[in-house]
Structure 1
Amino acid sequence: MTETLVPRTLPGTVRSHATHWIDGRWRFNCSTDTVEVTDPATGSPLATVPAGTPADAEAAVDAAKLAFPSWSALPLDERLRYLERLSELLEQHADTMADLVTAETGMPRMLTRHVQYPYAAESLRSYIELARSHQWEERIGHSVVRREAAGVVACLTPWNAPLALIMQKVPAALAAGCAVVLKPSELAPLNAYLLAELTAEAGFPPGVFNLVCGTGPVVGEALAAHPDVAVVSLTGSLRAGQRVSELAARRAAKVGLELGGKSASIVLSDADLDHAVTSTVDQAMFNSGQVCFAWSRLLVPAARYDEAVTLAARTASALPVGTPWNPATRVGPVIHSQARDRIIGMIDEATRQGAKVVCGGTAPDEPGEGSFVSPTVLADVRPDMRVATEEVFGPVLAVLSYEDEDDAVRIADATDYGLSGAVWSTDIDHATAVAGRLRTGRVDINGAPFNMRAPFGGYKSSGNGRELGTWGLDAFCETKAIQYPPAAGPEPGIRIRSGTGAQHES
Structure 2
Amino acid sequence: MTEQASYKSTFYINGEWIESDDKPHLAVINPATELSVGNIPLGNANDVNEAVQAATQAFVSFSQATREERLDLLKRIAEEYKKRSTDMAAAITAEMGAPKWLSESNQAASGYLHFKSAIEILEQYEFEFKQDSTLIRKEPIGVCGFITPWNWPVNQIGCKLAPALATGCTVVWKPSEEAPFSAQILMEILEEAGVPKGVVNMVHGDGPTVGSAISKHPDIHMVSFTGSTLAGIAVAKDAADSIKRVTQELGGKSANIILDDLSEERFAKAVAGGIKTLCVNSGQNCNAPSRLFIPKERMNEAEAVVKATMEKLSVGDPNDENNYMGPVVSETQWNRIQEHIKSGMDLGAELLTGGLGRPEGLTTGFYVKPTAFTGVNNGMSIAQYEIFGPVVCVIPYNTDEDAITMANANEYGLSGYVSGADSERVNRVAFALRAGMIHLNGAQMDRTAPFGGYKHSGNGRERGPQGFEEFLETKALLGMQ
**Normalising TM by the smaller chain, what interval?**
over 0.9
Give a deviation string over 1:4-40, Cα, whole Å, max 9, x none: xxxx9535x33223x3000000112395201111000
Aligned equivalent of 1:3: none
Give 1:454's match in structure 2, choosing from 443, 446, 449: 449
Structure-to-structure mapping, 1:400-415, within 5 angstroms: 400-415=395-410
Whole-angstrom CA distance in 2 between matches of 1:59 and 1:418: 37
Whole-angstrom CA distance in 2 between matches of 1:307 and 1:337: 35
**Per-residue deviation, 1:474:** 0.8
- Whether 1:14 aligns to 2:6 is yes
Give 1:267's match in structure 2, choosing from 243, 251, 258: 258
What letter corresponds to residue 342 of structure 1 in structure 2? Answer: R
Give a deviation string over 1:382-420, Cα, whole Å, max 9, x none: 101111011000010110000101110011111100000
Aligned equivalent of 1:311: 305
Aligned equivalent of 2:352: 358
Structure-to-structure mapping, 1:173-212, within 5 angstroms: 173-212=164-203
3-state SS of 1:358 partner: strand
Aligned equivalent of 1:147: 138
- Whether 1:301 aligns to 2:298 is no
- Whether 1:130 aligns to 2:121 is yes
Report how many residues are paired: 477
Give a deviation string over 1:59-107, Cα, whole Å, max 9, x none: 1111000000100101011012111111011111111100000000101
Whole-angstrom CA distance in 2 between matches of 1:445 and 1:9: 39
Unaligned runs of 5+ residues in structure 1 are: 1-7, 491-506
Contact 1:323 1:367 in 2 (8 A): no
Structure-to-structure mapping, 1:39-438, within 5 angstroms: 39-271=30-262, 272-362=266-356, 363-438=358-433
Contact 2:21 2:41 in 1 (8 A): no
What letter corresponds to residue 59 of structure 2 in structure 1? Answer: F
Contact 1:30 1:56 in 2 (8 A): no
What letter corresponds to residue 118 of structure 1 in structure 2? Answer: A
3-state SS of 1:400 partner: strand
Whole-angstrom CA distance in 2 between matches of 1:324 and 1:139: 54
Whole-angstrom CA distance in 1 between matches of 2:23 and 2:74: 34
Whole-angstrom CA distance in 2 between matches of 1:427 and 1:92: 46
Contact 1:30 1:53 in 2 (8 A): no
Whole-angstrom CA distance in 1 between matches of 2:331 and 2:355: 15
3-state SS of 1:73 partner: coil
3-state SS of 1:36 partner: strand
Distance 1:280 1:310, change over 3 A: same
Aligned equivalent of 1:441: 436
Whole-angstrom CA distance in 2 between matches of 1:111 and 1:417: 26
Aligned equivalent of 1:498: none
Worse-matched range after superposition: 44-53 or 116-125: 116-125
Give a deviation string over 1:414-472, Cα, whole Å, max 9, x none: 11000001000111221011100000000000011211111000000000000000111
3-state SS of 2:468 partner: helix
Whole-angstrom CA distance in 1 between matches of 2:162 and 2:37: 28
Give a deviation string over 1:328-374, Cα, whole Å, max 9, x none: 11111011112111111111111111101111112213232101111
Contact 1:14 1:100 in 2 (8 A): no
Aligned equivalent of 1:480: 475
3-state SS of 1:144 partner: strand
Whole-angstrom CA distance in 1 between matches of 2:361 and 2:327: 12
**Per-residue deviation, 1:54:** 0.7
Whole-angstrom CA distance in 2 between matches of 1:208 and 1:251: 22
What RMSD, in angstroms, separates the aligned Cα atoms of the two structures?
1.2
Whole-angstrom CA distance in 1 between matches of 2:213 and 2:18: 18
Contact 1:31 1:53 in 2 (8 A): no
3-state SS of 1:335 partner: coil
Worse-matched range after superposition: 94-103 or 339-348: 339-348
3-state SS of 1:169 partner: helix
Unaligned runs of 5+ residues in structure 2 are: none
Contact 2:84 2:189 in 1 (8 A): no
What letter corresponds to residue 405 of structure 1 in structure 2? Answer: D
Please identify runs of 4+ aligned residues in structure 1 that moved more than 6 A: none
3-state SS of 1:206 partner: coil
Whole-angstrom CA distance in 2 between matches of 1:9 and 1:388: 37
3-state SS of 2:34 partner: coil
Give a deviation string over 1:272-331, Cα, whole Å, max 9, x none: 210110000000101010010000010010000111011101101100000100001111
- The percent identity for this pair of structures is 39
Contact 1:90 1:121 in 2 (8 A): yes
TM normalised by structure 2 equals 0.97
- Whether 1:34 aligns to 2:28 is no
**Per-residue deviation, 1:209:** 0.8
Whole-angstrom CA distance in 1 between matches of 2:86 and 2:189: 14
Whole-angstrom CA distance in 2 between matches of 1:9 and 1:293: 31
3-state SS of 1:229 partner: coil
